[in-house]
Amino acid sequence: MKVVGVETVVVGTPWRELTFVELVTDDGLRGVGEARMVNKTSTLLACIEELAQRYVLGMDPFDLERLAWQAQWAEYGRAGEVTQTALAVLDVACHDLMGQATGEPVWRLLGGRFRDRVPAYANGWYQGDRDPEVVAGLASEVVARGYRGLKIDPFGAATAELGHGELALAVDIVAAVRDAVGPATELMVEMHGRFTAATAVRVARALERFGPAWIEEPVPPYNPAGLRQVRAGTWLPLATGERLHVLPEFRELLEGGLVDIVQADLTHFGGFTGLRKLAGWAGAYDLLLAPHNVCGPVGTAANVHLAVATGNYKVLEHFNDFADPWVADLVEGAPQVDPADGCFTLPTGPGLGVRLDREAAARHPRTSVHFNLVEEGWERRDVR
């Protein structure tokens, strides 16, 4: 089995573009991968084309260690977000082909079943006014759909610092959400790397009484010294890693005890091949994974397969019930959260178990959207 074609499709939404890649083999199989690239879709497409021409066309889709080595070493330049995302969509599509060729779901190729159900938490649900009562009402709807966890960034368009009034509003929002969802629902607080270390500590201490499951990216990803300061200033668990893209970037965090929840994104970390290595390394430090996932149905399906086969997988992020729910129609077999327990069920079909619907994708052309987290009203996720 050899790859003879590489096809890309971009689907546009009001706040994200989803890039799908299909690899076509000489025996007629089609494997699919997906990523959401933040604001640089055209750059990603160019990288996919370059890597495909050099390394993918003619390859055996089982030869994934070689593909990863080529993307990270034979290219010479440092592998970052763009390269690792291109590699990821190709790697995931190859795994889909491997599963189809063997007649097995991908999770069986990753080590077999560790769990039957994959816990999920909701994101993208707080698309209203930054008013405690409004946000609390939206949070109640999340819980009513069966989710046992939800995440929120209550900090508006803040960067670096947070004034007293804005901090008070953020605290009131989190308090209202906690009251609405009760003590048994996990509440994650997203900081999006917005703050200086001193501000992050001040915010974290103000939120400690609500018992969040973690605070996420309290400082920018290039600032492990700041993360060390936050670690010393609060007992809250620290989650980070969505903007780290290769294994060595985690070295200081793991060896320095600066992270509790590892959040690398499967679709920005070289796919299954890269994230499985990180999972093993995190396991050596007794750390759990909660990968960042802002993908549509294919990237989410890939994460479900990884979670099924990974012992130290904690929970999977999910946007698609609240932000652009129509993306489920882009594929056959889209993964769904079971409202009975807030979990994804065990995939059973060969490969990823999803197939891209080209006609459905064509109904949603590119939007070329610029998603700006430091613009007022970003959380509404609409076209501005």
Active site residues: 192, 292
Phi and psi torsions of 217, nearest 5°: 45, 60
> Cα(190)–Cα(178) distance, rounded to whole angstroms?
15
> Cα(261)–Cα(313) distance, rounded to whole angstroms?
10
List the alpha helices (DSSP H) in 52-196. 64-69, 81-102, 106-109, 132-144, 164-181
Contacts of 63 (CB under 8 A, 6+ apart): none
Single-letter amino acid code for the residue at 164: H
Six-digit token string for 259: 């992270």
Sheet strands (E) in 305-358: 316-318, 331-332, 337-338, 343-345, 355-356
Does residue 327 contact residue 296 with C-beta atoms inside 8 Å? Answer: yes
- The crossing angle, in degrees rounded to 10, of helices 271-284 and 81-102 is 100
> Cα(314)–Cα(137) distance, rounded to whole angstroms?
27
